[in-house]
């Protein structure tokens, strides 16, 4: 198969069907804009399986996304979309850059979720972007931005409920979007412990990529915990 694109953690392949792509998840872990990098055997398997079950939950809730089915333990079949150069970060509690930027203690509760947006460009360090910037740059229209905001809100409600049932707090997560040929916007990319902050409600232990970022210990056991609880739920 021909490679359409390759990033730090996955490879996108063309398929015989021009409307579909195959997404292959690698074992590479990166942090701090690829400054920290390592190979963690087995990580791709968990990211693939966890993303699949999360996408299924979204589909069951009527939230459109690019996931179609698992192909094997490292790959999934997805709809081909024109991926937008923006990402939405949904924050339910203070953590990461939000805490450092505003001097808020990690783990502090928020009166309501925060929805941030970044321009997706590693070369530019993924700068902050709001609706007016996105529209002025031709990334989306105002109407599309309203759709993205509603999708992000709905996805947050669904995923918060799903993880709560698993005994996990969804601290924050990243969403990316793709535009279908008819103009419909759907969730794309992945949703996994690589793109979420997840904390065990009982122990307070991180079950996400922060374990790699901040040298907290074994990442595979954490991802296995998330995977097991999601599939048992």
Same domain (yes/no): 44, 93: no
- What is the pLDDT averaged over residues 146-157? 98
Same domain (yes/no): 72, 124: no
95: how many CB neighbours lie within 10 A of its CB? 20
Please, what is the average pLDDT of the chain? 96
Decide if pLDDT at 233 tops 90.
no
| 6: nearest Cα among 19, 22, 16, 17 | 22
Cα gap 48→20, rounded to integer Å: 17
Q: Count structural domains, the chain.
A: 2
Same domain (yes/no): 88, 74: no
Residue span of the structural domain in which 9 resides:
3-79
Tally of helices (H runs) and strands (E runs) in the chain: 6, 12
pLDDT for the residue 184: 98
Q: What is the CATH number of the domain that holds 51?
A: 3.30.200.20
Among 64, 79, 94, the domain-final residue is: 79
Same domain (yes/no): 117, 214: yes
Query: Taking each helix axis from N to C terminus, what angle separates 43-60 and 142-165, rounded to the nearest 10 degrees?
Result: 110
- Global pTM value: 0.95
- What is the pLDDT averaged over residues 187-211? 97
Among 15, 49, 79, the domain-final residue is: 79
Same domain (yes/no): 69, 157: no
Same domain (yes/no): 94, 57: no
Cα gap 117→142, rounded to integer Å: 14
- Within-domain flag for 202: yes
Decide if pLDDT at 214 tops 90.
yes
Same domain (yes/no): 87, 194: yes
Decide if pLDDT at 232 tops 90.
no
Decide if pLDDT at 81 tops 90.
yes
- Within-domain flag for 162: yes
* pLDDT digits 0-9 by tens, 9-56: 999 999 999 999 999 999 999 998 788 999 999 999 999 999 999 999
Confidence of residue 107 (pLDDT cuts 50, 70, 90): confident
């Amino acid at each position: 198969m021909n490679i359409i694109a390759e990033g730090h953690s996955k490879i996108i392949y063309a398929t015989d069907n021009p409307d579909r792509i195959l997404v292959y998840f690698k074992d590479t872990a990166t942090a701090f804009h690829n400054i920290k990098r390592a190979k963690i055997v087995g990580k791709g398997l968990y990211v693939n399986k966890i993303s699949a079950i999360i996408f299924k939950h979204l589909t069951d809730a009527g939230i459109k996304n690019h996931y179609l089915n698992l192909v094997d333990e490292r790959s999934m079949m997805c709809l081909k979309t024109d991926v937008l150069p923006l990402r939405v970060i949904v924050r339910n509690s203070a953590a990461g850059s939000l805490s450092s930027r505003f001097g808020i203690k990690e783990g502090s509760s928020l009166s309501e979720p925060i929805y941030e947006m970044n321009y997706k460009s590693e070369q530019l360090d993924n700068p902050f972007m709001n609706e007016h910037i996105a529209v002025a740059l031709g990334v989306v229209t105002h109407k599309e931005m309203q759709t993205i905001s509603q999708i992000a809100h709905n996805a947050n409600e669904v995923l918060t409920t799903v993880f709560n049932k698993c005994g996990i707090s969804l601290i924050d997560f990243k969403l990316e979007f793709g535009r279908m040929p008819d103009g419909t916007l759907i969730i794309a990319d992945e949703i996994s412990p690589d793109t979420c902050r997840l904390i065990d409600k009982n122990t307070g232990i991180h079950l996400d990529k922060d374990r790699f970022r901040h040298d907290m210990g074994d990442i595979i056991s954490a991802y296995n915990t998330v995977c097991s609880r999601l599939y048992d739920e």
